[in-house]
Amino acid sequence: MQSYKKEFIEFMLRSGVLLFGDFTTKSGRKTPYFVNTGLYRTGAQLAELGGFYASAAKEYFGDSFNVLFGPAYKGIPLVATTSIALASKGDDVAWCFDRKEVKDHGEGGTFVGHKLADGDRVLIVEDVTTAGTSIRETVPKMQAAADVKLAGLLVSCDRRERGTGDKAGLDEIGAEFSMPTHAIVTIHEVIEHLHNREIDGVVVLDDEMKDKMEAYLAEYGPRGSD
């Protein structure tokens, strides 16, 4: 596992974004772990987060994109900080995000930032996706604005849960829109790195928690090989 992935897992944990316990997901599933990117709350955290996204974007997507897109609302700060981090590495790419409602005054329109143009290669930057609702809502908007190519989708953590069918949600979205999808880390990488490892003097993922997580994934993970 690459060093930046290990650092990102510990960063999520220290930021209070990666949680272990008893939670209920939006879909009603009872889960022993939860990832809530809405809990990043300082400028330093946001700056560091952008660096992780930038590292993953370069590793998985290389130079296949020239525009970053962040779906409203959580994608907005993510796309901004990722673009800044990429620029600091010498890759100055355009970025934009959508409005939930079309603005009918001033400059108007659906998008803020870069004006999408035919031939743009767009990398979507999102937090966590299972159902893929925000992607299904925003991709048609982009395609209506210009003849863009979907370079891919990058999320922070892939929970490896089934979407609407047998595939993991992230894989399902990729197949539906014919684009590559990747995460900075997967939940399997989280388990691998944190199992029985002390972080700041505490083991948060012991044998009992590992068993709970693996039981959850056995029930709600993709059917077949993963």
Has residue 151 got a pLDDT over 80? yes
Residue 149 sits at the vertex; the CA angle it makes with 135 and 139, to the nearest 5 degrees, is: 20
Q: Which residues contact 142 (CB under 8 A, 6 or more apart)?
A: 69, 98, 116, 122, 148
Verify whether residue 212 is a known catalytic residue: no
Backbone angles phi, psi at 112, to 5 degrees: -120, 140
- What's the confidence (pLDDT) of residue 110? 84
Has residue 50 got a pLDDT over 90? yes
Task: Find the catalytic residue in 26, 74, 100, 105.
Answer: 105
Verify whether residue 195 is a known catalytic residue: no
Q: How many CA atoms lie within 13 A of 161 on its CB side?
A: 22
d(CA 216, CA 86): 36
- What's the confidence (pLDDT) of residue 105? 46
Instruction: Summarize the confidence of residues 103-109 as an average pLDDT.
Output: 52
Best mean pLDDT range from 87-101, 162-176, 192-206: 192-206
Q: Side chain identity at 190, as an amino acid letter?
A: V
Burial 160-194 (b: 16+ CB within 10 A, else e): bbbbeeebbbbbbbbeebebebbbbbbbebbbbbb
Give me the architecture of the 3-220 domain, per CATH. Answer: 3-Layer(aba) Sandwich (3.40)
Best mean pLDDT range from 8-17, 23-32, 131-140, 215-224: 8-17
Average pLDDT along the chain: 92
Which pair of tokens denotes residue 13? 């944990």
Has residue 54 got a pLDDT over 60? yes
Has residue 102 got a pLDDT over 70? no
d(CA 180, CA 182): 7
Task: Find the catalytic residue in 30, 89, 103, 115.
Answer: 103
Beta strands at 94-103 and 109-113: parallel, antiparallel or unpaired: antiparallel
d(CA 40, CA 98): 21
The residues with which 186 forms a beta bridge, in sequence order, are: 158
- What's the confidence (pLDDT) of residue 29? 86
Instruction: Summarize the confidence of residues 102-110 as an average pLDDT.
Output: 56
Has residue 79 got a pLDDT over 90? yes
- What's the confidence (pLDDT) of residue 134? 82
Q: At 106, is the pLDDT very low, low, confident or very high (cuts 50, 70, 90)?
A: very low
Has residue 103 got a pLDDT over 70? no
Q: Name the 3-class secondary structure at 63.
A: coil
Residue position matching structure tokens 């510990």: 10
Q: Which residues contact 187 (CB under 8 A, 6 or more apart)?
A: 33, 157, 158, 159, 160, 213, 217
What is the tens place of the pLDDT at every residue in 166-183? 999 999 999 999 999 999
Helix spans in the chain (H): 3-14, 43-61, 75-88, 133-145, 169-177, 187-194, 207-220
